Amino acid sequence: MRRLRKVKIVATLGPASSDYQTIRALFEAGADVFRLNMSHGTHAEQKARYDIIRQIEADTGRPIGVLADLQGPKLRVGTFASGAAELEEGQPFRFDLDEEPGDGHRVCLPHREIFEALQPGATLLVNDGKIAMKVLECGPDFANCTVTIGGTISNRKGVNVPDVVLPLAALSDKDRADLEFVCDLGADWLALSFVQRAEDVIEARELARGRSAILAKIEKPAALNKFDEILAVSDGIMVARGDLGVELPVYTVPPIQKRLVRKCRAAGKPVIVATQMLESMIESPMPTRAEVSDVAAAIYEGADAVMLSAESAAGRYPIEAVATMDNVARSVETDPTYREVIEASRRAVRETVADGIVAAARELAETTDIKAICCYTQSGKTVNLVARERPRVPIIALTPVQSVLRRLCLTWGVHCAYCEPVDRFKMAVVGAARIARAEGFATETDQILVTAGVPFNVQGTTNILRVAPCDERLIFRTDPE
């Protein structure tokens, strides 16, 4: 199955998409990676979904990526004696550690870490920013505030603290248990919530022990301030715009998104744009024009992937949502303006031999009649570097390592294909030609580019680039050794 687009689609599974027929339909409609949201569902339910994905992978003969998204610490207020209270702008309100039910004047905030980090003048947001308060005075067990945006505050609503770095680890006890579960299960990517600093990612990587690639979710202002350090220690990034739009002025999110996508592209690391992309399709079979434009904007920016959340997990039209995303992507990528935007935003990186080879591969492919760039890889790094160049021709990733193929399902423009291990470059070229023909990328009269590293089967040795015919008889004739 060959996708007719470069950007990848991530679809979240949930109550609306938990059986074989629906998940397979989502895959056939265009989903490349499936997200397991660990905020909802039991381990048994997530394992059942994972097993179905792997069965579909076996039935279709195509690798499928699995992204497990950890919940992260959840900061919530306590309960109210009457279930809720009405707050008006300008009135005083107190948060404390007293577990007694709250009222219109106070409520328990059972997170001592918040009080330890607060300073007068800080902002507290409740219920996704629908209620805002300014801290007037605070101590180790209380915060006296004034309401700046009023509304209804009710039991266990979430709290955001955008102005300070909280002394909280990104991994709660639940997250640690979930991390071990999904790594043992075989998740290809691990999405880390509540990232504030590079150390949060490093801790998750140590716990994963190489079983999953680590993707940092950027959803807090503190993460933006430390983004370069976080990117350096992450395998990929998710721009979680929903949470960013709560903790920051919503009009600042689009330029932030563009900036982060470009930094990830320059680093050669996959980046997902996520949250509320086709939100109306939870209830409607048709998206709004604004939503379509939003998805298109992320694709024009060169994002590796766009993600569906509730649209595919709990919505009434999960398959239609994936098909819509696929259609938008194909429409954008056939627009001549798309190539102009992508190429204008390309950054030249020439620091290593691999950098030079992938840049040369892209230039050769675009100035001669090359049908595909075929990359033999052990770790996937060279493939990500080729994808960083955003070439006009398809990228075929060839590896005997199944886990690498699945992780590369998230990378822009990459078609993943399993190959047997090889120990000679000639056989690598022959294998690439056979796969390019079999997968419909080329015919015997066409040419491909092949990159590889000698010695074979060693990570980080990419040092060869060859233009090769797809007719293996010509390969043997010109390279008898």
Catalytic residues: 35, 76, 217, 275
Residue spans of alpha helices (H) in 209-288: 221-225, 227-233, 241-247, 253-267
Task: Identify the bridge partners of residue 124 per DSSP, sorted by sequence position.
Answer: 133
DSSP 193: P
Q: Select from 237, 201, 239 the least CA-distant residue to 220.
A: 239
Six token digits for residue 224: 């933006």
What is d(CA 309, CA 385) in angstroms, rounded to the nearest whole number?
Answer: 28
Amino acid, single-letter form, for residue 420: E
φ and ψ at 428, to 5 degrees?
A: -65, -40
Six token digits for residue 444: 């015997």
- Which of 91-127 are b and which e, b meaning 16 or more Cβ less than 10 Å from the residue's Cβ? eebbbbebeeebebebbbbebeebbebbeeebbbbbb
Strands 189-192, 65-69: parallel, antiparallel or unpaired by DSSP?
A: parallel
Six token digits for residue 33: 């990676």
For residue 315, give every residue at least 6 positions away whose Cβ sits within 8 Å of its Cβ, in sequence order, or none: 16, 281, 282, 283, 321
User: How many CA atoms does the CB half-sphere of 12 hold within 13 Å?
Assistant: 26
